[in-house]
Amino acid sequence: IQLTQSPSLLSASVGDRVTLSCKGSQNINNYLAWYQQKLGEAPKLLIYNTNSLQTGIPSRFSGSGSGTDYTLTISSLQPEDVATYFCYQYNNGYTFGSGTKLEIK
Amino acid sequence: EVQLVETGGGLVQPGKSLKLTCATSGFTFSNAWMDWVRQSPEKQLEWVAQIKDKSNNYATYYAESVKGRFTISRDDSKSSVYLQMNSLKEEDTAIYYCTILDGPFDYWGQGVMVTVSS
């Protein structure tokens, strides 16, 4: 399964509602996770099984979707959210998307 | 506290071999399915290999890009997992992460750099 993330680069203002997209080449059956990677760090799990928030992750992060289309939403962008975000499917093999780089405008 | 510490990276010539080690602590290693994930210089993440636990006969799985060249193994007595990399290619250049990818039980090491270059 191939994953296509869009946009590849997103610039938004503090406080904005931000939506990141991940589209699979086949049905992912909700076996979809989202990772946040800050510069020089390992990826950190935010969301698993489409919409389950990992322990310790702020509630401004949420996930949704079904079938082939999935979304990560940040309800109110904070300066510390600057990072690259990757989606990851584990329904059929294991595949990562190419990432969305999120910047503050 | 769960800890995953990778060692063994470095600069190696194409066609040569390298073995990565991941020493772990803070969880019941013998029950865990362990994975290696790599990140290219272009920042693309790629799942590389997985080894299951004893109850699953230590089954192993590989990405097509490394099948036949890489071997994942584990030593439950040492709480360690290994990645033997043979016939290395320049496109294997990446940061290699030792990981546990199990829903909310998700942990990554700090990563180790492998550079394949002549």
Cross-chain CB nearest to A96 (options B45, B103, B104): B45
CB pair distance less than 8 Å for B108 and A43:
yes
Q: Using an 8 Å Cβ cutoff, are A93 and A18 in contact?
A: no
At residue B112, the pLDDT reads 98
Q: How confident is the model at residue B5 (pLDDT cuts 50, 70, 90)?
A: very high
Note the pLDDT tens digit of each residue in B69-80. 999 999 999 999
CB pair distance less than 8 Å for B45 and A86:
yes
Q: Which residues of chain B does A96 touch, with a Cβ-Cβ cutoff of 8 Å?
A: 37, 44-47
Hunting for tokens 């994975």 — which residue is that?
A: B35
Please indicate if any CB of chain B lies within 8 Å of the CB of A56. Answer: no
Q: Which residues of chain A does B46 touch, with a Cβ-Cβ cutoff of 8 Å?
A: 96
Residues of chain A with pLDDT under 50: none
Note the pLDDT tens digit of each residue in B25-59. 999 999 999 999 999 999 999 999 999 999 999 99
